[in-house]
């Protein structure tokens, strides 16, 4: 990989709209904290979008210096999503895999 290009990792899920604030706080304490503590993580954030049907889409985005650094967080199969114990309580839909992109500019 070009050493000047970072890798972006994205995952999507959905929660009941009334659970959005609580789930975002939970993800900050779990996934975001773990992302940011992993060597090679450049930054991480959570996006939300009210779908208007009682659910809110959640997207986690993290930027990394390399695929090797992502393995430090996710393990050898970096395409498999990482879940935490209370995710089942909140999530009404979830991607089991994540997507990775190389930053082009």
**Nearest C-alpha neighbor of 26 from the set 84, 95, 94:** 84
pLDDT tens sequence across 30-53: 999 999 999 999 999 999 999 999
Topology (CATH) of 7-102: Alpha-Beta Plaits (3.30.70)
Parse the chain into domains and list their residue ranges. Answer: 7-102
pLDDT tens sequence across 49-87: 999 999 999 999 999 999 999 999 999 999 999 999 999
Distance CA 61, CA 23 (A): 15
pLDDT for 5 equals 85
Distance CA 65, CA 6 (A): 5
What is the residue-wise DSSP string for 40-52? Answer: TEEEEEEEEEE-S
Q: What are residue 76's phi and psi, to 5 degrees?
A: -65, -35
CB atoms within 10 A of CB 97: 12
């Amino acid at each position: 990989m070009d050493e000047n290009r970072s890798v972006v990792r994205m995952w999507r899920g959905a929660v009941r709209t009334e659970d959005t604030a609580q789930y975002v706080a939970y993800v900050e304490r779990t996934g975001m904290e773990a992302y940011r503590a992993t060597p090679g993580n450049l930054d991480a954030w959570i996006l939300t979008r009210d779908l208007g049907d009682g659910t809110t889409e959640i997207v986690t985005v993290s930027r990394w210096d390399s695929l090797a650094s992502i393995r430090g967080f996710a393990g050898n199969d970096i395409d498999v999503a990482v879940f935490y114990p209370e995710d089942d309580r909140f999530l009404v839909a979830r991607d089991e895999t994540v997507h990775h992109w190389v930053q082009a500019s």
